[in-house]
Amino acid sequence: MIIQRVVLNSRPGKNGNPVAENFRVEEFSLPDALNEGQVQVRTLYLSVDPYMRCKMNEDTGTDYLAPWQLAQVADGGGIGVVEESKHQKLTKGDFVTSFYWPWQTKAILDGNGLEKVDPQLVDGHLSYFLGAIGMPGLTSLIGVQEKGHISAGSNQTMVVSGAAGACGSLAGQIGHLLGCSRVVGICGTQEKCLFLTSELGFDAAVNYKTGNVAEQLREACPGGVDVYFDNVGGDISNAVISQMNENSHIILCGQISQYSNDVPYPPPLPPAVEAIRKERNITRERFTVLNYKDKFEPGILQLSQWFKEGKLKLL
């Protein structure tokens, strides 16, 4: 069987920006028969995520992400339907997902590496399993639960950078649901700011491309910042950290502003900002959702429940 797949054609370099020419589409021949334990799947949805920039490097800089190999198929979060099975627990017609789904139209995969998904949890919208009811949703929920130290009724303010993105848009809503009294988002357009406040329930939004971010934050967070869901790093995060309260917490979800720079992860803070962090006892610990697999199942059920109740709005 001839299928199409996307392979890594070249690397952008540790400090380069990815371009279309770093990839190519090619035809590939699948085996005609399955081995025991394998399934043939047809790809329905693929997720393209910020962390994949690291996988384009020869060294990802992390111990849990393997780099993509030149001339080999790219992979990531994906969802598909089983077309043929030699696996005891998977049958034709099952919908399945994997964090290591190859970017190809059809594939033969080890059934043990796949998870069945229930379309009823997402009212039939299977792509949601790659978003709010999938890894981005789990990252937001578990990150806030494990690293945010939110206590309902304690009048905490949360700030979210990259607030209009897949994780940020969910993290702000989850912050409210878990007890934050005020949630402020940072994004890059007035349209996004309006969407955050009018549709997603954020109390205020800061456009980092207009005006002084630190001044806008002081106005939006008069009581300071207690929880910071950090998706971007860099100058924006430095401005937020400078306004954080004593014993506050940074949820280190991502540093997208730094992914095309050759720096360690997490990137070190400037000396003045690091001095503030230490002086105010602000926690800033690396967060990796894959370390919390035991919380995935209850997390998916909680996200699905909020979605069905209309408490969690999706992009």
**Tens digit of pLDDT for each residue in 94-132?**
999 999 999 999 999 999 999 999 999 999 999 999 999
pLDDT tier at 213 (50, 70, 90 boundaries)? Answer: very high
Give pLDDT tens digits for 21-49. Answer: 999 999 999 999 999 999 999 999 999 98
Residue-level pLDDT at 264: 61
pLDDT tier at 288 (50, 70, 90 boundaries)? Answer: confident
Give the integer Cα–Cα distance in Å for 289 and 127.
20
Give the integer Cα–Cα distance in Å for 291 and 288.
6
| CA 15 from centroid of its chain's CA atoms | 22
Burial class for 96, CB neighbours closer than 10 Å (0-12, 13-18, 19+): buried
pLDDT tier at 53 (50, 70, 90 boundaries)? Answer: very high
Contact between residue 184 and residue 204 where contact means Cβ atoms under 8 Å apart: yes
Contact between residue 308 and residue 125 where contact means Cβ atoms under 8 Å apart: no
Residue-level pLDDT at 130: 96
Contact between residue 29 and residue 107 where contact means Cβ atoms under 8 Å apart: no
Percent of the chain residues topping a pLDDT of 90 = 86
Percent of the chain residues topping a pLDDT of 70 = 97
**Per-position b or e across 124-144, b if 16+ CB within 10 A of its CB:** eebbbbbbbbbbbbbbbbbbb
Provide the token pair at 306.
Answer: 């909020």
pLDDT tier at 260 (50, 70, 90 boundaries)? Answer: low
Please provide the DSSP assignment of the chain as one string. Answer: -EEEEEEE-----TTSPP-GGGEEEEEEEPPSSPPTTEEEEEEEEE---TTHHHHTSSS-SSSS-PPPPBTSB-EEEEEEEEEEE-STT--TT-EEEEEEEESBSEEEEEGGG-EE--GGGGTT-GGGGGTTTSHHHHHHHHHHHHHS---TTS--EEEEESTTSHHHHHHHHHHHHHT-SEEEEEESSHHHHHHHHHTS--SEEEETTSS-HHHHHHHH-TT-EEEEEESS-HHHHHHHHTTEEEEEEEEE---GGGTTS---SSPPPPHHHHHHHHHTT-EEEE--GGGGGGGHHHHHHHHHHHHHTTSS---
Give the integer Cα–Cα distance in Å for 30 and 38.
13
Q: Using the predicted structure, report yes or no on whether residue 255 has a pLDDT greater than 80.
A: no
Domain boundaries, the chain: 2-118, 135-296
Q: Using the predicted structure, report yes or no on whether residue 137 has a pLDDT greater than 60.
A: yes
CA atoms within 13 A on the CB side of 17: 2
The CATH code that applies to domain 2-118 is 3.90.180.10
Residue-level pLDDT at 15: 85
pLDDT tier at 68 (50, 70, 90 boundaries)? Answer: very high
Q: Using the predicted structure, report yes or no on whether residue 259 has a pLDDT greater than 60.
A: no
Least confident of 19-33, 109-123, 146-160, 249-263: 249-263
Residue range 220-235: average pLDDT?
A: 95
Task: State the pTM of this model.
Answer: 0.87
Residue-level pLDDT at 126: 97
- Picking from 130, 111, 112, the residue whose alpha carbon sits closest to that of residue 122 is 130
Q: Using the predicted structure, report yes or no on whether residue 263 has a pLDDT greater than 80.
A: no
pLDDT tier at 267 (50, 70, 90 boundaries)? Answer: confident
CATH T-level fold of 135-296: Rossmann fold (3.40.50)
To the nearest whole number, what is the mean pLDDT of the chain? 94
Residue-level pLDDT at 265: 66
